[in-house]
Structure 1
Amino acid sequence: MLTPEANLRLQLRISTISSVTKSIIIVAWLVVGILVGLSVIGVNIAPLLAGAGLIGVAISLASQNLIRDAINGFFIILEDQYAVGDVVGIGDATGFVEAINLRITQLRDTEGRLITVPNSEIRTVTNYTSNWSQVDLKIPIAYHSDVEKAISLIEKISDSMMRDQSYRKEILEKPIFLGVDEFSNQGIILRVWIKTKPLQQWPIGREYRRRVKIAFDQAGIELSLPQQKIWISQENSNQP
């Protein structure tokens, strides 16, 4: 009864929650196993259980950061802020969520570095792959280029992407051409939005840019570069 997007999100949540639950269960059974083992070999565990409360209080006072990590990690998982398999930005770090538990979140960035972030230090999270993603494509063309011709080519490229069997399943809606978005020192900026499945915005964006470059080259439309005009005044000069 779930949509494919909701089903994928549910799978990510289940894998994340199951990994966290597994860690908690392992620790709990380890403690129980130690206590049972001590009782089997004849050690009186009653004083240990009685003193466990006092020890717990002492540990909690000495490790307040760990408690904050666990509380924040619990709400991250409960609220589905992100899950294993998402691409997120946390502070200055951006990467693929490789592992998450009640204490830490681990990201793998584009250079393969593993970044570990304590959950208590997470304030703002940017999730690039929650439910759906989007290509925000800005196409700069030279000021002397034929704008209407460029727009027509962009619409044809959007149609061809939707007909392509390799990409149509990854694009959720027909690409939206927003129009002439800006006049800048880089030229005339045309803007396109493409709504995609999670994690597909990058391959879709790369393929769209490739097709734009080929189509524009064939039509003689130049993709512009940053440019400046310099005006030299000779008002106070005796030179002609």
Structure 2
Amino acid sequence: MITSVGVFVIFFWAVLQALPLFGLNLGPLLASAGIAGLAIGFGAQTLVHDFINGFFILIENQYDIGDNVRIAGVKGTVEAMSLRHTLLRDEDGTVHFVPNSEIKIVSNTTRDWSQLTLRVTVAYSEPSDRIVKLLQEIGDEVRHDPAYAEDIVSDIQVPGIDRVGNGEAEYLMLVKTRPNKQYAVSRELRRRIKECFHMQNVQTPGPGRMYVVDQDRAS
């Protein structure tokens, strides 16, 4: 190996010495080689940074394929990952190739469990205890429904009123679900809340208006 390197160095030096004999000016050639070397060096530096970041992302298990994350200002689902880059697909279906060197902070919304926060708005005149009881009953029904029991990791909580104003009151429902299951659970809760409020004649903030907002989606 050392002999081969030595032969190459001697050959390269001999070529450089022979070029002026053929009327070739080494100055521009060496300058171009220097500029090319700098460009390659900067490119290699970024590439090395990509690989180092990618290595730690994989070793520390910061996220995995299928996780919903926010990295480098982009939010989406991880579809592929390597030492070089991470591929995300956002809610619009757009695919983003994010170089690992651009990832400074990782926000993983599907690690271990997901938090679903529903804000249910009704008329101010509705008795608070009645609304809390109805929402808790709906939460318990969904929690023990075989179709959703495995997706909800703990009892659904209804802390009570979170906001009052403009003739309306806003109640909170807090739900912990398995990763990526909060959307299906949210849709079912909203469906049951609508049906229940209709059957129980719960007054809404205005005619034909009932607000059940998923805080994650609202943000």
Q: How does 1:35-46 map to 2 (within 5 A)?
A: 46=4
Structure with the greater alpha carbon radius of gyration = 2
In percent, how many aligned pairs have the same letter?
36
Aligned residue in 1 for 2:189 = 208
Aligned residue in 1 for 2:24 = none
**Structure 2: which amino acid aligns with 1:90?**
I
1:87 to 63, 68, 81: 68
Aligned residue in 1 for 2:51 = 70
Deviation per CA, 1:154-210: give whole Å up to 9, x if none.
111011112211011111111011111122448311111111111101110111111
Cα pair distance change 1:69/1:96, threshold 3 Å: same
Residues 69 and 107 of structure 2 are in contact (CA less than 8 Å); yes or no, is this contact kept in structure 1?
Answer: yes
TM-score by length of 2: 0.72
> Aligned equivalents of 2:85 and 2:125: distance in 1?
53
CA RMSD of aligned residues (A): 2.5
Q: How does 1:88-127 map to 2 (within 5 A)?
A: 88-127=69-108
> How far off its partner does 1:77 sit?
1.4
**Structure 2: which amino acid aligns with 1:125?**
V
Q: How does 1:4-15 map to 2 (within 5 A)?
A: none
Deviation per CA, 1:210-237: give whole Å up to 9, x if none.
11111112112134369xxxxxxxxxxx
Residues 146 and 221 of structure 1 are in contact (CA less than 8 Å); yes or no, is this contact kept in structure 2?
Answer: no
> How far off its partner does 1:61 sit?
4.8
> Aligned equivalents of 1:193 and 1:97: distance in 2?
26
Aligned residue in 2 for 1:218 = 199
Classify the secondary structure of the residue corresponding to 2:64: coil
Residues 60 and 67 of structure 1 are in contact (CA less than 8 Å); yes or no, is this contact kept in structure 2?
Answer: no
Classify the secondary structure of the residue corresponding to 1:148: helix
Q: How does 1:10-29 map to 2 (within 5 A)?
A: none
> How far off its partner does 1:91 sit?
3.8
Task: Tell me how many residue pairs correspond in the alignment.
Answer: 176
> How far off its partner does 1:146 sit?
2.4
Cα pair distance change 1:66/1:223, threshold 3 Å: farther
Aligned residue in 2 for 1:171 = 152
> Aligned equivalents of 1:95 and 1:62: distance in 2?
28
1:161 to 134, 142, 146: 142
**Structure 1: which amino acid aligns with 2:65?**
V
> Aligned equivalents of 2:116 and 2:199: distance in 1?
24
Give unmatched runs, 5+ long, in structure 1.
1-45, 52-56, 227-240
Aligned residue in 1 for 2:130 = 149
Deviation per CA, 1:119-157: give whole Å up to 9, x if none.
111122221111111211111112122222111111110
Aligned residue in 1 for 2:29 = none
Classify the secondary structure of the residue corresponding to 1:63: helix
Residues 133 and 201 of structure 1 are in contact (CA less than 8 Å); yes or no, is this contact kept in structure 2?
Answer: yes
Does residue 196 (structure 1) correspond to residue 177 (structure 2)? The answer is yes
TM-score by length of 1: 0.66
Structure with the bigger percentage of strand: 2
Give unmatched runs, 5+ long, in structure 2.
10-36, 210-219
Does residue 181 (structure 1) correspond to residue 162 (structure 2)? The answer is yes
